[in-house]
């Protein structure tokens, strides 16, 4: 009888041990599955705006300056340029960054060639910030792209919203809501930028902004503005427009009318 009990206890012990090993295997498998799920979540792709800010922060101050100098440089012979003819103010000449923002450039150039912008106004003007136009309704709510639907941002750390930058207006980051509206940055450098750059980790931009001026346009928070051109002549005209009297909604008291935007090629 005692021998039978001993055999029974040994068998019971083996069963318990086998069950324990099986349970551990299941737990390990479940944990592995959870880890794989977490790993896949970690691999979620960054948004275009996040890629832009990450790449920009990784540039050295010397690289930023070199990019800024290229942005301000004279166009090459035969490059496409736009000449804004603005009633009562004069002309503003802009070069394009077709390699950086091909869709924005194609959209703007095609609209200009087809006369879409003729007779429209700079409907929103804020001194030490920008002048905005391209809306056939004249109130900031209208306009469409040449494709009949909005398109998304084209962001590159090689071109930034320095003074004179031609940018596409946007209704929100990642919303693909760019139509026909554009603006020209008019802001000069101010000392307040130093604290902003330092706080958000963009100290590498300080020298270039001190030299060329510009605006941050929520650079470190939710950047959404495609820079697709740069004023190469007529910044004094942009300054004069920015200084015009405006109402409470930043609309000029007297219309600032774009007679036409001429697309031509640059000749030295």
31 shares its domain with 113: no
Cβ-based neighbour number of residue 173 at 10 Å: 19
**Judgement on whether residues 63 and 29 belong to the same structural domain of the protein:** no
Is 94 in the same domain as 23? Answer: no
Q: Based on the domain organization, do 23 and 111 belong to the same domain?
A: no
- H or E stretch at 210: helix 206-212
Q: Provide the domain limits for residue 97.
A: 48-265
Sequence-distant (≥ 6) Cβ neighbours of residue 125 within 8 angstroms = 131, 132, 241, 242, 244, 246, 250, 251, 252, 256
- 26/132 same-domain check: no
Q: Are residues 36 and 126 in the same domain?
A: no
Q: What is the pLDDT of residue 173?
A: 55
Tell whether 101 and 181 lie within a shared domain. Answer: yes
Q: How far apart are the C-alpha atoms of 258 and 92, rounded to whole Å?
A: 10
Structure confidence at residue 2 (pLDDT): 43
Same domain, 7 and 28: yes
Which CATH number characterizes residue 130's domain?
A: 2.40.100.10
Note the pLDDT of residue 62: 98
What are the 10-residue block averages of pLDDT along the chain, 268 residues in total?
45 43 37 33 65 92 98 97 98 98 97 98 97 96 92 93 95 68 96 90 95 85 86 98 97 98 96
Residue 146 burial class via C-beta count within 10 angstroms: exposed 0-12, middle 13-18, buried 19 and up: middle
Together in a domain, 108 and 13: no
Residue ending a domain, choose from 26, 44, 62: 44
Are 220 and 136 contained in the same domain? yes
Residues 21 and 112 placed together within one structural domain of the fold: no
Residues 19 and 2 in one domain: yes
pTM: 0.82
Count of domains forming the chain? 2
């Amino acid at each position: 009888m005692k021998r039978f009990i001993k055999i029974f206890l040994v068998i019971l012990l083996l069963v318990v041990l086998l069950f324990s090993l099986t349970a551990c295997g299941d737990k390990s498998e479940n944990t592995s599955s959870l880890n794989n799920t977490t790993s896949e979540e970690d691999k979620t792709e960054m948004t275009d705006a996040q890629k832009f800010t990450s790449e920009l922060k990784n540039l050295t101050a010397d690289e930023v300056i070199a990019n800024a100098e290229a942005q301000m440089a004279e166009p090459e012979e035969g490059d496409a340029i736009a000449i804004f003819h603005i009633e009562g103010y004069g002309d503003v000449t802009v070069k394009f960054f077709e390699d950086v923002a091909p869709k924005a450039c194609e959209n703007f150039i095609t609209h200009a060639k087809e006369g879409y912008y003729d007779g429209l106004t700079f409907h929103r003007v804020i001194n030490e910030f920008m002048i905005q136009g391209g809306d056939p309704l004249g109130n900031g709510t209208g306009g469409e792209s040449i494709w009949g639907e909005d398109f998304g941002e084209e962001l590159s750390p090689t071109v930034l919203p320095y003074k004179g930058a031609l940018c596409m207006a946007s209704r929100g980051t990642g919303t693909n809501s760019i139509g026909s509206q554009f603006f020209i940055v008019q802001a000069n450098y101010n000392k307040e930028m130093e604290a902003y750059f330092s706080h958000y980790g963009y100290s590498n931009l300080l020298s270039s902004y001190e030299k060329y001026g510009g605006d941050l346009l929520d650079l470190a928070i939710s950047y959404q503005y495609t820079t697709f051109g740069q004023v190469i002549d007529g910044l004094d005209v942009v300054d004069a427009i920015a200084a015009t009297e405006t109402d409470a909604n930043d609309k000029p008291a007297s219309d600032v009318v774009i007679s036409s935007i001429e697309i031509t090629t640059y000749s030295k």
